[in-house]
Amino acid sequence: MGDWAVQCGSGIRFEWGPAGAGRLVTEAACLVIVDVLSFTTTVSVAVGQGIRVLPFWMPADPATTAERTASQKAAASYAQLCDARLAVARTAVTPDNPWSLSPTHLRRAPYVARLVLPCPNGAAITAALSPRALVVAACLRNITAVGSWLTARGYGTPEQPVAVIAAGEQWPDGTLRPALEDLFGAGALICDLHAQGAGPLSAEAAAAKAAYEGTADLTHAVAASVSGRQLTAAGFTEDVAITTEEDTCALVPVRDGDGAFAPG
């Protein structure tokens, strides 16, 4: 592929999912992962409590029981290796293991120093990136903090471009499902960066920005999205509400040399 595939010449670039992140990682000075429902939102809550979050890829829907068991064992082994507690599925929390991908659960759970947070989307993208890549976790809760952190360090120019990656979700066959809430989160960050003088925007980044700016009721739109309705139907309405607490978090989760998200 030529330079057109990496949105060359733009200070702010935008792409979707693991393939998009993998394509832009060699061109961007910083990658910002946006997984509103719920990985990066949960990371913002955890890091705000002083927890170091280690991302771990977990299949969204393992095809067989054997594959599910193998994935769970791999996650448990990784947590043991990292001397960390392991978050479980939202529906699998117990008094002995109250940590999960749910930001609601994280708010109520006791403090732990290190937490392995499995996820098929945002965590998978992060875990697959080179350890040398600068990776930031953004959500609607910390847009201004992330934007200010990036611009204060000179990111968001053609010389030091920022790649904003909307994680998206997955269809049952494992292919990428572009997720509305991640488009909004990415667009919100791009809007903030542009307002602070970063740019120019690629056409893709400009489109994401326009989607965010053109949404009159963000809370309603996220709740009415496919992902929002799915979580609400499963009984996690509070999780959906937490994701639209715009600019309530002043922390910027940055992946460190240990592979964990911690305050930047």
223-264: pLDDT as tens digits: 999 999 999 999 999 999 999 999 999 999 999 999 999 999
Residue type for 233, please?
Answer: A
Given a cut of 70, whether residue 204 has pLDDT beyond it is yes
Q: What is the share, in percent, of the chain residues with pLDDT greater than 90?
A: 91
Q: How confident is the model at residue 68 (pLDDT cuts 50, 70, 90)?
A: confident
Name the pTM for this structure: 0.96
User: Which residues neighbour 200 within 8 Å (Cβ) at sequence distance 6 or greater?
Assistant: 9, 10, 11, 12, 158
β-strand pairing of 169-170 with 176-177: antiparallel
Given a cut of 60, whether residue 1 has pLDDT beyond it is no
pLDDT of residue 60: 79
Q: How many whole angstroms separate alpha carbon 24 and alpha carbon 53?
A: 24
- The two tokens of residue 202 are 């690629």
User: How many Å is the Cα radius of gyration of the chain?
Assistant: 17
Question: Which of the following CATH numbers is that of domain 3-263: 3.40.630.10, 3.30.950.10, 3.40.228.10, 3.90.1560.10?
Answer: 3.90.1560.10
**How many other C-beta atoms can be found within 10 angstroms of the C-beta atom of residue 115?**
25
- The two tokens of residue 160 are 């030091």
User: Which residues neighbour 218 within 8 Å (Cβ) at sequence distance 6 or greater?
Assistant: 140, 184, 212, 244, 246
Average pLDDT score over the chain: 95
